[in-house]
Structure 1
Amino acid sequence: MPIRLASHVLPLLLCLLLALATPLHAQQPTAVIAAEARLESWSDPIEALGTLRADESVTLSATVTEIVAELAFGDGEVVEAGKLLVRLADDEEQADLRVAQALRDERRNAVNRLAQLQERNLAPRGDLEDARARLRQVEAEIQGLEARLANYRLRAPFDGVTGFRNISVGSLVTPGTELVTLDKLDVMKLDFNVPEVFLSLLEPGLTLTAHSAAYPDDDFTGTIASVGARVDPVSRSVPVRAELDNPDLKLRPGMLIEVVVQRQPRETMVIPEAALIPEGNRQYVLVLHENGDYQVERRQITIGARRKGEVEVLEGLSEGQLVVAHGTERVRDGQPARLLGILDDDTSVPEILRRERDASEAES
């Protein structure tokens, strides 16, 4: 008995037969966005939290009981090594020094007279030696007075930034009174702890990147200066100290810093993570051959580490090859593709789509 089909089914069957009969090369290419496999610097990061310290830090205190005679610094002032910061009243000590200097001149003249007489055998040699001994004695007293006078003048021991001034001229200070703080801030020390499992991977010279909540848009780079000699038996972590350049003096002691240590730095092949097509334990990508119609090849690759939005390729790709980054679910192995654009640091997916839309509107 012959099978009769409804009249409205015949056109649908005809369209289906035509579609099946259409050769693959005659199909409309699928639009895709690609990315280029490229060599980039890569490292396996170790993340931690650390605290900043000044490269050099000191609190200058009084060592004598006296009145402040002069303050030669302001709050947060950048000073050079050797600059006078605080002078205490030293009138009495200066007077003692002048007395000793006068006595030195007197005894020096006596030595000179006795030396001239001794040359003419008119004075005993013993008198000359005694005069020289008395001269050395007063010279030692002068050195002691000058050393004590240094305690009345506080100078910057190194280039740095002063703290707040909390004393005034005329204040009576005693030994131990804190007069001024000074911090060397052009280089900062960054102390942080990492788990002991990374101990074998840490060594002086490794680079790191530091971030502060105070400057969210800034990256501060530095290097590990030293690794602690002991592991904390409670936290099982090892202390690490790094050094950061701070030419703009943005970083300050005590700041909390996010640290990313660049472990095992290397040059490696990198593609966007969106280009991966996982199947069990295997990873595939769709390679675009630049032969005019961008024919698609499904290829297995071997991947390494991952980071935000990117993956390391160990085997399967060469530098400069194009892989499908967006549109992997619509295109198949062996099909032609229409390349809308190539992603890079300056070109994003929305920008590529906007350019394609503008071009389509211009043609229509």
Structure 2
Amino acid sequence: MFSRPQAFLCSVLWLLVAAAAPVLANQGPLVEVVQAEKTLVRDELITFGSLRSDESVMIRPEIPGRLAALHFREGQSVEAGALLISLDDAIARAELAQAQANLSLAEKSHQRVQMLFKRGASNAQALDEASAQQQAARASLALAQARLDKTRIHAPHDGVLGLRHVSPGDYLEAGQDIVNLEVLDPLKVDFRIPQKAVSQIRLRQTIEVSLDAYPGERFRGAIYAINPRLDEAGRSQAVRAHIDNADGRLSPGQFVKVLVILAERPDALVIPEEAVMPVGEQLLVNLVVDGKVELREVRLGKRMDGKVEVREGLLGDEVLISAGWQKVRAGMAVRSKVVEPAP
């Protein structure tokens, strides 16, 4: 049994609950609501590829000879025309001196025969022979000079040298590997796309590259070459892009994930995926308009992590029910709890 004060308190509480019940009933169920957000949405084609030097050349001698001197350090940056290798040029210089002497003699002989021919003391055949010997001597001199020039090897373009394969004093054969020279800025990105996506790829299309060495980072580039012929074995098309590497963080040979940007919509409407209500073949969302539920059919686009793009059906200023729409129906009054969208 309750005491008189306790009984009075219970009566008051019962009256308060009874009075509040119709008010709560009129307000309707509590639902969570969000507003559609505008954000960048991109259609992407994901594939994989490799980084390559923009230019890559193996420095090799064109003539055999003993390696006299190396004029570079491994890993050094060099400019076009920088002297890299000197071969022993003693024989080449001797051949050049001999060719110069032969040319001097041939020129003097030609001058004498020409003088005699003018005086009538020589015939045309002797003049032709002297002229031919002079031309042959000039050709021999040019050949000797070319052989001497090939004892000194210069960088064909700006770049970074790799690791050398020889040492001073080695005897080198023609075509033997000495050191590689790489152009590291920009870099090439080689990748392949499947046959079904060929029509979506075009020149100057933007790509983004990511790799395990730099988690969470993306490096942008652009397509500059597309192989017009598909690979018959894999039915794929080879594509090549350029990517800036001014800071030297990327290296040739790295395996990369490539995202080809097919389309960008900077102001696309995005809503939580759980706000969409499938009804048969229709896709509906529940809006809160003047405190009551209103149904709206929508057409969806790209799906992302927990979110989906709305292509048609919304203007962007609507308030949508994201949680609790299962317990409401069109025209019902509801109480709203605003939920901040997830980042």
**Runs of 5+ in structure 1 lacking a partner?**
1-5, 350-364
Q: Which residue of 2 aligns with 1:224?
A: 223
Measured after TM superposition, the shift of residue 30 of structure 1 is 7.6
Corresponding residue to 1:313 among 302, 306, 310: 310
Amino acid corresponding to residue 283 of structure 2 in structure 1 = R
1-side partners of 2:265 and 2:117: how far apart?
82
Q: Which residue of 2 aligns with 1:77?
A: 76
SS at match of 1:205: coil
**Could you tell me whether the CA contact under 8 Å between 1:29 and 1:338 is conserved in 2?**
no
**After alignment, is 74-83 or 198-207 more displaced?**
198-207
The 5 A counterparts of 1:155-234 are 155-234=154-233
Q: Which residue of 2 aligns with 1:282?
A: 283
2-side partners of 1:73 and 1:35: how far apart?
64
Amino acid corresponding to residue 100 of structure 1 in structure 2 = A
- Tell me the TM-score normalized by structure 2: 0.78
Measured after TM superposition, the shift of residue 269 of structure 1 is 1.6
Structure 1 residues 228-280: Cα deviation after superposition (integer angstroms, max 9, x where no partner): 44444554433333222222232222211111111244455232435733233
Instruction: Count how many residue pairs are aligned between Structure 1 and Structure 2.
Output: 329
**Could you tell me whether the CA contact under 8 Å between 1:275 and 1:285 is conserved in 2?**
no
**Using a 3 Å threshold, how does the CA distance of structure 1 residues 29 and 138 change in structure 2: closer, same or farther?**
farther
SS at match of 1:45: strand
**Could you tell me whether the CA contact under 8 Å between 2:31 and 2:334 is conserved in 1?**
no
The CA RMSD measured in Å over matched residues stands at: 3.8
Matched, 1:259 2:258: yes
2-side partners of 1:322 and 1:156: how far apart?
65
**Runs of 5+ in structure 2 lacking a partner?**
1-6
**Using a 3 Å threshold, how does the CA distance of structure 1 residues 91 and 269 change in structure 2: closer, same or farther?**
same
**Using a 3 Å threshold, how does the CA distance of structure 1 residues 322 and 140 change in structure 2: closer, same or farther?**
farther
Q: Which residue of 1 aligns with 2:38?
A: 38
1-side partners of 2:17 and 2:295: how far apart?
30
**Using a 3 Å threshold, how does the CA distance of structure 1 residues 71 and 29 change in structure 2: closer, same or farther?**
farther
**Using a 3 Å threshold, how does the CA distance of structure 1 residues 230 and 285 change in structure 2: closer, same or farther?**
farther
1-side partners of 2:159 and 2:189: how far apart?
18
Measured after TM superposition, the shift of residue 318 of structure 1 is 2.8
Q: Percent identity?
A: 30
**Could you tell me whether the CA contact under 8 Å between 1:35 and 1:271 is conserved in 2?**
no
Matched, 1:54 2:53: yes
Structure 1 residues 172-216: Cα deviation after superposition (integer angstroms, max 9, x where no partner): 222342111112221222222332222222233322111111122
**Could you tell me whether the CA contact under 8 Å between 1:297 and 1:334 is conserved in 2?**
no
**After alignment, is 231-240 or 202-211 more displaced?**
231-240
Measured after TM superposition, the shift of residue 340 of structure 1 is 7.7
Structure 1 residues 133-176: Cα deviation after superposition (integer angstroms, max 9, x where no partner): 22211111122222323432222222221111232211222234
Measured after TM superposition, the shift of residue 88 of structure 1 is 0.8
**Using a 3 Å threshold, how does the CA distance of structure 1 residues 195 and 131 change in structure 2: closer, same or farther?**
same
Matched, 1:247 2:221: no
**Could you tell me whether the CA contact under 8 Å between 1:37 and 1:322 is conserved in 2?**
no
Matched, 1:145 2:144: yes
Measured after TM superposition, the shift of residue 297 of structure 1 is 6.2
**Using a 3 Å threshold, how does the CA distance of structure 1 residues 277 and 112 change in structure 2: closer, same or farther?**
same
1-side partners of 2:63 and 2:21: how far apart?
102
SS at match of 2:187: strand
1-side partners of 2:166 and 2:82: how far apart?
18
1-side partners of 2:129 and 2:205: how far apart?
66
**After alignment, is 127-136 or 227-236 more displaced?**
227-236
**After alignment, is 255-264 or 12-21 more displaced?**
12-21
**Could you tell me whether the CA contact under 8 Å between 2:78 and 2:158 is conserved in 1?**
yes
Amino acid corresponding to residue 156 of structure 2 in structure 1 = P
Matched, 1:18 2:20: yes
- Tell me the TM-score normalized by structure 1: 0.74
**After alignment, is 266-275 or 298-307 more displaced?**
266-275
2-side partners of 1:232 and 1:120: how far apart?
72
2-side partners of 1:60 and 1:212: how far apart?
30
**Could you tell me whether the CA contact under 8 Å between 2:117 and 2:127 is conserved in 1?**
no
**Using a 3 Å threshold, how does the CA distance of structure 1 residues 194 and 114 change in structure 2: closer, same or farther?**
same
2-side partners of 1:77 and 1:305: how far apart?
48
